[in-house]
């Protein structure tokens, strides 16, 4: 392995004290590639700053940046601006990376000069490391793909399985226009769409990234806004492809971001209800007894949620046969799952 820096890993965190140590450990355990980790603290008010400072004292590959509490997108933009390597990788707090993730993704990038963006399969688990499903997307792993569908250029046909699983060329990131602050949500797909205009996408066909689904995730309570941000991102890419201006779409995204800022706390509370219900539904499909506890948690927050009552009753009176979540028997997924389960036991 060359001593020259090959990958800059960008990690944005706000009040992530509980999950940060395990995430850092998984990134710092990467092998076969020379890397740095840029951790951007977005105005944390818990023990995150102290934890990061202590970790940086022990680990010279970890660089710290602290900013006021201004949001995920500015934090990601700041982290990427600080990157020294020719390749940037993302990592989300609470998630884990397999020790070979960066090396295998970069090897795929190096084999295909036309590729600007690489992902891998993502193993999705519940808060207690319950195996749920493996996100693989479509397309043949290892082969350069067009991000946009050939029959419908305004529809994305491929792309990363999760934001944190992405790795991309820094030169392409800068040429595409970087993360755009107008996208408070959906900032990842806004960037992927613009990268897709500059080169190909490729997928490593292995679960090298683990994402822990939490009830409080905004993916549950702000799904409608995320969908609208995605529509704006694809429309803006279509404008760029046609050589047209997309400033009116950026203005629309900015207005949507302002709305999200006003509704953020209410949507987080809503997320806890919907997220608990969604996790319960996933576990019920697998016949897991823990499903009932998630339905009950949703009902404690919203007792009038009839579908949660129906699923809770079904989980008690008509439990489904237990079956294993598909895909978790591969060596990579099993290793990640064991790490997530061990982290959970240590926290308990």
What digits encode the pLDDT tens for the residues 181-232? 999 999 999 999 999 999 999 999 999 999 999 998 988 999 999 999 999 9
Place of tokens 């079904």: 314
Query: How many structural domains is the chain composed of?
Result: 1
The parent domain of residue 51 ranges over 7-218+330-347
Lookup result for tokens 């023990």: 47
CB atoms under 10 Å from CB of 318, counted, come to 8
Domain assignment of residue 319, yes or no: no
DSSP state of 69: S
In the predicted model, is pLDDT for residue 3 greater than 80? no
State phi, psi for 277 to the nearest 5 degrees.
Answer: -65, -45
- Reading phi first (left if > 0) and then psi (alpha if -120 to 50, else beta), residue 201 is in beta
- Average the pLDDT over 68-77 and give the result: 96
- The answer to whether position 246 is within a domain reads no
Separation in Å, CA 314 to CA 133, 263, 285, 298, 308: 22, 33, 11, 15, 10
pLDDT tens-digit readout, 164-181 = 999 999 999 999 999 999
Q: How confident is the model at residue 2 (pLDDT cuts 50, 70, 90)?
A: very low
Higher pLDDT, 282 or 343: 282
Residue-wise pLDDT for 93-143, tens only, equals: 999 999 999 999 999 999 999 999 999 999 999 999 999 999 998 788 999
> Coil, strand or helix: which one is 78?
helix
Q: Higher model confidence: residue 154 or residue 279?
A: 279
Residue 260 lies in a domain: no
The answer as to whether 50 is a domain residue is: yes
Residue 347, pLDDT > 80, answer no
Separation CA 300–CA 277 (nearest Å): 11
Q: DSSP assignment, residue 163? A: G
Model pTM above 0.85: yes
Count of CB atoms within 10 A of residue 68's CB? 8
Token look-up 């990467």 returns: 30
- Structural domain includes residue 102: yes
Residue 81 lies in a domain: yes
Domain membership of residue 255 (yes or no) is no
In a domain, 298, yes or no: no
Give me the helices (H) in 94-164, please. Answer: 101-111
> Average pLDDT over the chain, rounded to whole?
94
Region of poorest pLDDT, from 277-286, 291-300, 315-324: 315-324
CATH of residue 188: 3.90.550.10
């Amino acid at each position: 392995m060359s001593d020259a820096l090959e990958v800059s890993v960008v990690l944005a965190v706000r009040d992530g004290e509980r999950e940060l140590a395990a995430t850092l450990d998984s990134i710092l355990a990467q092998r076969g590639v020379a890397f740095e980790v840029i951790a951007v603290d977005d105005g944390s008010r818990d023990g995150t700053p102290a934890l990061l400072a202590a970790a940086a004292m022990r680990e010279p590959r970890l660089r710290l940046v602290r900013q006021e509490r201004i949001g995920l997108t500015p934090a990601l933009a700041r982290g990427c601006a600080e990157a020294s390597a020719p390749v940037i990788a993302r990592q989300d707090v609470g998630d884990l990376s397999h020790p070979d993730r960066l090396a295998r993704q970069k090897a795929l990038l190096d084999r295909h000069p036309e590729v600007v963006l690489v992902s891998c399969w993502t193993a999705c688990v519940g808060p207690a490391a319950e195996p749920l499903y493996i996100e693989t997307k479509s397309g043949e792993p290892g082969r350069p793909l067009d991000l946009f569908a050939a029959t419908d250029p305004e529809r994305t046909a491929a792309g990363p399985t999760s934001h944190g699983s992405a790795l991309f060329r820094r030169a392409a990131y800068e040429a595409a226009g970087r993360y755009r602050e107008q996208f408070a949500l959906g900032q990842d797909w806004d960037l992927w769409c613009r990268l897709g205009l500059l080169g190909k996408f490729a997928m490593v066909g292995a679960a090298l990234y683990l994402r822990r689904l939490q009830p409080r995730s905004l993916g549950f309570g702000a799904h409608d806004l995320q969908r609208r941000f995605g529509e704006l991102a694809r429309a803006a890419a279509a404008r760029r492809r046609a050589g047209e201006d997309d400033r009116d779409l950026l203005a629309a995204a900015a207005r949507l971001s302002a709305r999200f800022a006003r509704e953020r706390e209410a949507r987080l509370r809503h997320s806890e209800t919907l997220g608990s219900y969604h996790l319960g539904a996933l576990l019920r499909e697998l016949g897991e007894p823990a499903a009932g506890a998630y339905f009950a948690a949703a009902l404690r927050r919203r007792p009038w949620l009839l579908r949660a009552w129906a699923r809770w009753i079904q989980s008690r009176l008509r439990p489904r046969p237990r079956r294993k979540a598909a895909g978790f028997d591969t060596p990579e997924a099993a290793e990640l799952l064991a790490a997530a389960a061990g982290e959970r036991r240590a926290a308990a």
